[in-house]
């Protein structure tokens, strides 16, 4: 298929995944922000919850250019509705739809209709609508539109190259997002590993799990108290948790194997290397290196993988 088409399709699914992740993050923040302060024990630090999604997405600078104070309404406006913020849910869905519009020929009509409808509805949403229908209901809507799109894609699309590039976009964005969420939680909210076990800590780790839809999975697997090392194990090393790094790398490696040929095999090799480190990794090693360092290294590797995918399949210049 055309390199430009592959690129558009990859970004289409990346933007949908991004919109979903932003909604997840904001939804959890919203729930967290409603917790009463009295659950805090003395000495616990309570970072302002509305700063977290800004930091996670690397958008704090952009936010403070336009705003002086941190309020729920302003963060929601900026991260959901702001057309000038390229990472807002509005912008992500718009970009996804624009990418799809350029590649309608590669999509099934049901996929296009689903995405187009999402965009048409999003275009008519303002802050008043969000509060009137309930903030969480709005985030559920975003998640559901993303689920629907993925489901329609899975259920109707020909298993061709286009399908592979669509999946690539989903899993690259997902791996990137899970790593960022883990990192920010660790650094913004809990400066040291010793602060474990308090009520705030429980709610914060719990909310992190919820933001990636893994709270119930944690309960099923560990049937025990929530600890950082178990959360890390769950979201980094386990391959049966759909939003874990290992699970995302399983998919990325498999897709890149299928796209590999004698002229284009470096992306597959690199994905295999990253995958192997997760597949054979241990929690102790992660904490020995430091969770933050580990995650930074992971993000660098994902970026390198991105570059290789671009170079081998998507760029318009041949050498």
Partner 1 sequence: MASPIHDEMRGSDGNVLPHYQSYAAWLDSIPPERLVQKRNEAEAMFHRLGITFAVYGEEAGAERLIPFDIIPRIIPADHWHTLERGLAQRVQALNLFLHDVYHDQKILKAGVIPSQKVLANAQYRAIMQGVDVPGGIYAHISGVDIVCTGPGEFHVLEDNLRVPSGVSYMLENRKMMMRLFPELFSRQQVAPVEHYPDVLLETLRGVAPHGIDDPVVALLTPGSYNSAYFEHTFLAQQMGIELVEGQDMFVRDDTVFMRTTRGPKRVDVIYRRIDDDFIDPKAFRPDSILGVPGLMQAYKAGRVTLANAVGTGVADDKSMYIHVPEMVRFYLDEEPILKNVPTWQLSKKDDLHYVLEHLHELVVKEVHGSGGYGMLVGPASTMTQRAEFRERIIAHPEKYIAQPTLALSTCPTFVEAGIAPRHVDLRPFVLSGKTTRIVPGGLTRVALKEGSLVVNSSQGGGTKDTWVLEA
Q: Does 50 bind partner 1 (CB under 8 A)?
A: no
Interface positions, 1-20, toward partner 1 (CB under 8 A): 1-6
Q: Is 95 in the site for partner 1 (CB under 8 A)?
A: no
**Shortest approach of partner 1 to residue 85 CB, angstroms?**
19
CB of 319 to partner 1, least distance (A): 11
Per CB under 8 A, the segment of 25-33, 35-43, 114-122, 126-134 that binds partner 1 is 114-122
- Residues 124-143 binding partner 1 (CB under 8 A) are none
Is 94:102 a contact under the CB 8 Å cutoff? Answer: no
Nearer to partner 1, 123 or 219 (CB): 123
Of 158, 192, 224, 316, the residue at the interface with partner 1 (CB under 8 A) is: 316
| Number of neighbours of residue 299 by Cβ within 10 angstroms | 15
CB of residue 307 to partner 1, shortest distance in Å: 16
Residues 56, 184 contacting (CB under 8 angstroms) = yes
What are the beta bridge partners of residue 264?
Answer: 261
Cα 145 from Cα 154, distance rounded (Å): 14
- Residues 263 to 292: which contact partner 1 by CB under 8 A? 263-264
The count of residues interacting with partner 1 (CB under 8 A) is: 28
- Residue 104 within binding range of partner 1, rule CB under 8 A: yes
Buried b (16+ CB within 10 A) or exposed e, 205-228: bbbbbbbbebbebbeeeeeeebbb
Nearer to partner 1, 161 or 266 (CB): 161
Task: Pick out residues in 235-264 that bind partner 1 (CB under 8 A).
Answer: 259, 261, 263-264
For residues 209 and 306, give the distance between their C-alpha atoms in angstroms, rounded to a whole number. 26
DSSP 8-state class, residue 40: P
DSSP states of 288-305: HH-HHHHHHHHHHHHHHH
Cβ 179 vs Cβ 212: under 8 Å: no
Distances (CA, A) of 148 to 40, 158, 172, 238: 39, 17, 19, 26
When the beta carbons of 261 and 284 are compared against partner 1, the nearer one is 261
| Residue ranges binding partner 1 (CB under 8 A) | 1-6, 98, 101-105, 109, 112-113, 116-117, 120, 161, 165, 259, 261, 263-264, 313-314, 316, 318
């Amino acid at each position: 298929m055309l390199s430009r088409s592959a690129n558009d399709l990859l970004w289409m699914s990346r933007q949908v995944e991004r919109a979903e992740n932003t909604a997840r993050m904001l939804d959890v923040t919203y729930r967290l922000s409603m917790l009463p302060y009295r659950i805090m024990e003395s000495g616990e630090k309570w970072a302002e919850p509305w700063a977290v999604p800004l930091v996670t997405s690397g958008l704090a600078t952009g936010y403070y250019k336009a705003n002086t104070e941190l309020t729920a309404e302003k963060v929601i406006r900026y991260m959901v509705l702001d057309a000038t913020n390229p990472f807002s849910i509005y912008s992500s869905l718009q970009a996804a739809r624009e990418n799809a519009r350029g590649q309608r020929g590669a999509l099934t009509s049901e996929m296009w209709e689903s995405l187009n409808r999402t965009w048409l509805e999003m275009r008519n949403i303002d802050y008043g609508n969000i509060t009137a229908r309930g903030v969480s209901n709005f985030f559920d809507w975003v998640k559901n539109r993303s689920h629907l799109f993925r489901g329609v894609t899975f259920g109707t699309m020909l298993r061709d190259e286009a399908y592979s590039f669509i999946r690539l976009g989903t899993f690259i964005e997902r791996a990137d997002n899970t790593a960022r969420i883990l990192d920010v939680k660790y650094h913004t909210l809990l400066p040291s590993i010793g602060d474990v076990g308090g009520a705030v800590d429980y709610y914060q780790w719990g909310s992190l799990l919820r933001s990636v839809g893994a709270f119930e999975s944690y309960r099923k697997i560990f049937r025990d108290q929530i600890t950082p090392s178990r959360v890390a194990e769950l979201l980094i090393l386990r391959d049966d948790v759909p939003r874990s790094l290992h699970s995302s790398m399983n998919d990325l490696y498999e897709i890149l194997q299928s796209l590999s040929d004698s002229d284009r095999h470096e992306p597959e090799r690199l994905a295999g290397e990253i995958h192997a480190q997760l597949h054979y990794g241990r929690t102790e090693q992660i904490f020995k290196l430091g969770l933050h360092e580990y995650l930074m290294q992971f993000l660098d590797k994902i970026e390198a993988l991105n570059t290789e995918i671009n170079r081998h399949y998507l760029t318009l210049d041949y050498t």
